């Protein structure tokens, strides 16, 4: 049966429209979108409607590390020491823990404006680094978390083989990540069989990084993945990574990656922080999505993405919650822009003559890039696409007198959190009146897992 909704205003593919009738089919796809409609027989929505944001880069288990890596210990405090903390933490995790942590995180993501999460899934094995009896156990845990919360999921099995550009073996906590291309393709088959034709599930493949995947394995993984699958990789996040890559290959990471695989619309390059002029130009013109995770990148002291050059060159981008120190899509875009302002000493960096609203341009760019990187029919309110949307609270002060892109500017750059009232994923309401209905139960399970892990 088709459900009909009526929104006072909605962001449609060709711009904002008023009095929009949205019809959603029983399969959770949008059937019709009609602006200027009287709304007869419709459920009236409480405020403006936006397409839900895809979170294009997430490691769900890291949600449970919040507060564990902000304390100065003897020695330097860097990305690399943070990584040691992360390895120590994950030594204790079992699949049921990951399911509980993922469910908690995904509720928070839904309440923060995300309707799809792309899980860069690299925690594969048991505490001793051996495959579980069912080698997909951790993938099922992530999927279970997504089901409890009701978020749509693109799962990316991650290939992870070496501890550096010199090909050194994995040690300690890293052994839980080890997966060669054949193992990742096998995992894709297993998960694909269970996902079947569920329209709210998709797959992709992710070589972890150039430091963790040697060239031959990178080629094998890319060759083995069906051409329809998105490919994701971490690249050029840290200065030391650039230095090590230069030493080992005489090329910088993004240039090296382009040499090895060629860049195209299939790729999502996560972080892509440290680029020289040629690399910035190459990325912008490649059709690949830059996967930006501003809150995590700030937390880890990564550096700033070359946003002006990227947008100038027609580059694509999306946003990710990554280590999940931030779970708010609007705040992620705010920090993306504010980092640029603070270093360039100018305002409205992402805006352009053609798209003068900073918030409008960023939200639309991240929708398009996130949809591309997730490999799912989302990101626009249009017939045939999934009914993944956010309904804002029309009674909130942030709405006062504002419409269209001015509203997006206020949501991203105004005070407080964006007043998200209702969230729909694949035609089902998963958040109503600002609260997830299973929030209490999922929160209780999360607290008991954390109590045990941190004891
Ligand atoms: Zn990551």
DSSP lists the bridge partners of residue 5 as: 22, 43
Chain segment 379-428, per-residue pLDDT in tens: 999 999 999 999 999 999 988 889 999 999 999 999 989 999 999 999 99
- Beginning with the edge strand found earlier in the chain, give each strand of the sheet holding 289-292 in spatial order: 231-235, 267-271, 289-292, 316-319
What is the predicted pLDDT for the residue at 201? 98
Q: Mind listing the pLDDT tens digit for each residue in 432-447?
A: 999 999 999 999 999 9
Average pLDDT over residues 448-452: 94
Beta-carbon count within 10 A of 398 CB: 17
How high is the pLDDT of residue 99? Answer: 98
Instruction: Tell me the per-residue pLDDT of 304-350, one tens digit each, with 9 for 90 and over.
Output: 999 999 999 999 999 999 999 999 999 999 999 999 999 999 999 99
Residue 322 known to be catalytic: yes
Read off the pLDDT of residues 353-388 as tens digits, 9 standing for 90 and up.
999 999 999 999 999 999 999 999 999 999 999 999
Give the mean pLDDT of 129-140.
97
Tokens of 48: 């403006």
The per-residue pLDDT for 1 is: 86
Alpha carbon distance 302, 132 (integer Å): 34
User: Which of these is catalytic: 37, 97, 299, 322?
Assistant: 322
Q: What is the mean pLDDT of residues 253-281?
A: 98
Average pLDDT of the residues in 196-207: 98
Catalytic residue among 121, 271, 399, 436: 271
Q: 51-374 in CATH: which number?
A: 3.20.20.140
Residue 79 confidence (pLDDT): 78
Q: How far is the CA of 140 from the centre of ligand 1 (A)?
A: 20
Is residue 204 within 8 Å of 156, Cβ to Cβ?
yes
Cα(96) to ligand 1 centroid in Å equals 22
- Could you give the percent of the chain with pLDDT greater than 90? 90
Q: What percent of the chain has pLDDT over 70?
A: 100
Q: What separation in Å is there between the alpha carbon of 5 and the centre of ligand 1?
A: 37
Determine the topology of domain 3-50+382-439 in CATH: Urease, subunit C; domain 1 (2.30.40)
Are β-strands 206-207 and 152-159 bridged in parallel, bridged antiparallel, or unpaired? parallel
- As annotated, the residues of the chain forming the CATH 3.20.20.140 domain(s) are 51-374
How far CA 180 is from CA of 90, 94, 183, 372, in Å, comes to 20, 21, 5, 26
Q: For position 262, what pLDDT does the model report?
A: 96
For position 442, what pLDDT does the model report?
98
Q: What is the pLDDT of residue 83?
A: 83
Chain-wide mean pLDDT for the chain?
Answer: 96
Cβ contact 157:206 at 8 Å: yes
Q: Ligand 1 centroid to 165 CA: how many Å?
A: 18
Residue 57 a catalytic site member = no
In angstroms, what is the span from residue 144 Cα to ligand 1's centroid? Answer: 21
Euclidean distance between CA atoms 409 and 357, whole angstroms: 7
Measured in angstroms, how far is the CA atom of residue 59 from the centroid of ligand 1?
A: 6
pTM above the 0.85 mark? yes
Per-residue pLDDT reduced to its tens digit, 26-85: 999 999 999 999 999 999 999 999 999 999 999 999 999 888 888 887 777 787 787 888
Q: What is the pLDDT of residue 73?
A: 78
CA dist 328 and 111 (Å) reads 8
Where in the chain do CATH 2.30.40.10 domains reside?
3-50+382-439
């Amino acid at each position: 049966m088709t459900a009909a909704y009526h929104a006072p205003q909605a962001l449609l593919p060709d711009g904002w429209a008023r009095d929009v009738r949205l019809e959603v089919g029983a399969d959770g796809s949008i059937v019709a979108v009609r602006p200027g409609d009287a709304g007869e027989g419709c459920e009236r929505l409480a405020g403006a409607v936006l397409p839900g944001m895809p979170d294009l880069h997430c490691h769900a288990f890291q949600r449970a590390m919040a507060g564990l890596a902000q304390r100065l210990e003897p020695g330097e405090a860097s990305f690399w020491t943070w990584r040691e903390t992360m390895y120590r933490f994950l030594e204790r995790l079992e699949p049921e823990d990951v399911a509980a942590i993922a469910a908690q995180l995904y509720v928070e993501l839904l309440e923060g404006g995300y309707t799809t999460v792309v899980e860069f899934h690299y925690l594969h094995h048991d505490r001793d680094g051996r495959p579980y009896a069912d080698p997909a156990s951790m993938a099922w845990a992530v999927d279970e978390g997504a089901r409890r919360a009701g978020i749509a999921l693109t799962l990316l099995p991650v290939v992870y083989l070496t501890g550096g550009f010199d090909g050194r073996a994995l040690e300690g906590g890293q052994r839980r990540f080890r997966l060669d291309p054949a193992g990742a393709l096998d995992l894709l088959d297993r998960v694909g069989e269970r996902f079947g034709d569920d329209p709210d599930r998709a797959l992709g493949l992710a070589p972890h990084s150039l430091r963790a995947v040697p060239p031959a394995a990178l080629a094998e993984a890319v060759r083995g993945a069906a051409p329809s699958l998105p490919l994701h990789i971490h690249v050029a996040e840290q200065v030391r990574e650039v230095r090590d890559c230069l030493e080992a290959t005489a090329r910088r990471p993004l240039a090296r990656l382009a040499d090895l695989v060629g860049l195209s619309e299939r790729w999502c390059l996560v972080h892509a922080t440290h680029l020289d002029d040629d690399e910035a130009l190459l990325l912008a013109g490649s059709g690949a999505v830059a996967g930006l995770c501003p809150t995590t990148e700030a937390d880890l002291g990564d550096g700033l993405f070359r946003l002006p050059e990227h947008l100038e060159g027609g580059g694509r981008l999306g946003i990710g919650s990554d280590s999940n120190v931030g779970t708010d899509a609007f705040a992620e875009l705010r920090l993306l822009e504010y980092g640029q302002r603070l270093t360039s000493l100018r305002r409205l960096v992402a805006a352009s003559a053609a798209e003068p609203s900073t918030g409008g341009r960023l939200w639309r760019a991240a929708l398009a890039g996130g949809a591309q990187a997730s490999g799912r029919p989302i990101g626009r309110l249009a017939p045939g696409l999934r009914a993944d949307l956010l309904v804002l609270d029309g009674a909130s002060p942030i709405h006062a007198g504002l419409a269209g892109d001015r509203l997006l500017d206020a949501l991203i750059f105004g005070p407080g959190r964006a007043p998200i009232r209702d969230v729909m994923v694949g035609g089902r309401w998963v958040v109503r009146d600002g609260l997830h209905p299973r929030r209490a139960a999922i929160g209780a399970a999360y607290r008991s897992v954390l109590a045990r892990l941190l004891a």
